[in-house]
Chains A and B, each alone.
Chain A
């Protein structure tokens, strides 16, 4: 009686098989609002998709979750693609999600906002990464559609500003599925070319969906990686894309990009002319200054009447010389007077004065002063000095005085 008894596992496996062989459940799009959103450490995402009456359990495995363009959260409305199958372990059917699209423009904005926040946090928009544009670009690459108005606008404005500017157009798809990759690839290509020193990436105006490629991460990353300065020019003045934030410079429109990228040739010519003028004026002024200074020195008194100065100096020397001589004379006079005074004093002691009184001096034959009679010999010739001359005499006799005498 129990011949048709199945195990739980057999039933769940049977049901799962029915689910998997159903062509509708096998590849299905479901729209709804996310609730109970959980991101597991494994990288798998679990949530519930619901509408006003009903709910379905959803799982998104890591391989799909990791390439999500935005991070889902509770309350976000999405359109999810995947298949419905049974989780045999607890007999629950669930929606195995493989791709998630945000539903509606609000969700697109959310995706944009999330990518923007993420890249900003990563530092891709930092001003320190912004490259300065070349003043005089050698060749500008224009990454845009070759059929749109944007490329014409850029060329027109560029040529007007700088007639002999060199431009290189890299045609790309600017909307649709493959646009983002095409644009990224074109930027990568441009980056490899040595002749390019400035890049304009952009397109004309359009809906947010049409501009979407410029909000894709792959484009942002390629712009960031580009070694050459990149100007973004997407849509109209009011459109801000991720490309605008990561670019080195945002232009509000493609025409404006050309204005920013291409210098006005005649204003550069004017600037050079102005510098040339200043240069000439300066050298003229410097030469005039030097000449004036030279003339001033030339006409100075010293150079003109060189002897005047010398004569004046000479006069000073004469004057000093005179003063010196005067001083010298005075000193000499003083000394002379002193000398005279001394002489007078000395005069009192002069032995010649004694001679004047009748004393004489006797010198022997050796011309030695005779101080004693004993010094003399009989018949010796002596010289006797008088005050006014001398006499040679002979000693005829001598008489020595007694000691008592």
Chain B
């Protein structure tokens, strides 16, 4: 469990969401110790923060490949409106 927490930042977005859902589910069960619930809560908070960060990670760039062999690419803007 300890190792898992240390490597949360390597999770993909869907894995992180999955882990978060699992935590919420566990916490919604009645028989859970105080220590366990606090531990889960702390990890859950970290995961929500991580997931939110992931959403803003993409740069929003649109690139176009000009030449496949040389990977020559340029940033491009499309008149989309």
Tell me whether B63 and A186 are in contact (CB under 8 A). Answer: no
The B-contacting residues of A in range 166-194, CB under 8 angstroms, are 166-171, 185-186, 189
Whether A169 contacts B63 by the Cβ 8 Å rule is yes
How far apart are B7's CB and chain A's nearest CB, in angstroms? Answer: 19
CB closest residue in chain B, given A153: B80
A165 within 8 A of B: yes
The answer to whether B27 and A286 touch across the interface, beta carbons within 8 angstroms, is yes
Chain A residue at minimum C-beta to C-beta distance from B43: A279
- Among A272-327, those with CB < 8 Å from B are 272, 275-276, 278-279, 282-283, 286-287, 290
Contact bitstring B39-60, A, C-beta under 8 A = 1, else 0 = 0010011001001101111111
Q: Report whether A290 and B34 are in contact in the complex, using a CB–CB cutoff of 8 Å.
A: yes
Are B80 and A156 in contact, with the CB atoms below 8 A? yes
Contact residue among A156, A168, A286, A290 (Cβ-Cβ distance under 8 Å from B63): A168
Chain A binding surface, main DSSP class: helix
Bound-state CA distance A185–B68 (Å) is 9
- List A contacts of B78 (CB < 8 A): 151-152, 155
Least CB distance from B23 to A in Å reads 7
Q: Would you give the 0/1 interface string for A98-130, flagging 1 where the beta carbon is closer than 8 Å to chain B? A: 000000000000000000000000000000000
What is the CA–CA distance of A171 and B68 in the complex, to the nearest angstrom? 10
Check B59–A279 contact: CB distance below 8 A.
no
A residues 121-170 near B (Cβ < 8 Å) are: 134-136, 138-139, 146, 151-152, 155-156, 159, 162-170
Q: Is the CB of B64 within 8 A of A168?
A: yes
Q: Do B27 and A279 touch across chains, with their CB atoms under 8 A apart?
A: yes
A165 touches B80 (CB 8 A): no
CB neighbours of B34 from chain A (8 A)? 286-287, 290
B48 interface neighbour in A151, A189, A272, A290, Cβ under 8 Å: A272
Please state if A265 and B55 are interface contacts (CB–CB under 8 Å).
Answer: yes
Chain A residue nearest in CB terms to B42: A283
CB–CB A166/B48 < 8 A: no
- Asked if B10 CB lies within 8 Å of chain A CBs, one says no
B27 touches A269 (CB 8 A): no
Instruction: Point out residues on B near A: beta carbons under 8 Å.
Output: 12-14, 17, 20-21, 23-24, 27-28, 32, 34, 37-38, 41, 44-45, 48, 51-52, 54-65, 68, 73, 76, 78-81
What are 14 residue pairs bridging A and B, where the CB atoms are less than 8 Å apart in the complex?
A: A136-B14, A136-B54, A136-B55, A152-B79, A155-B62, A165-B60, A168-B63, A168-B64, A169-B64, A268-B55, A275-B17, A275-B21, A279-B27, A287-B34
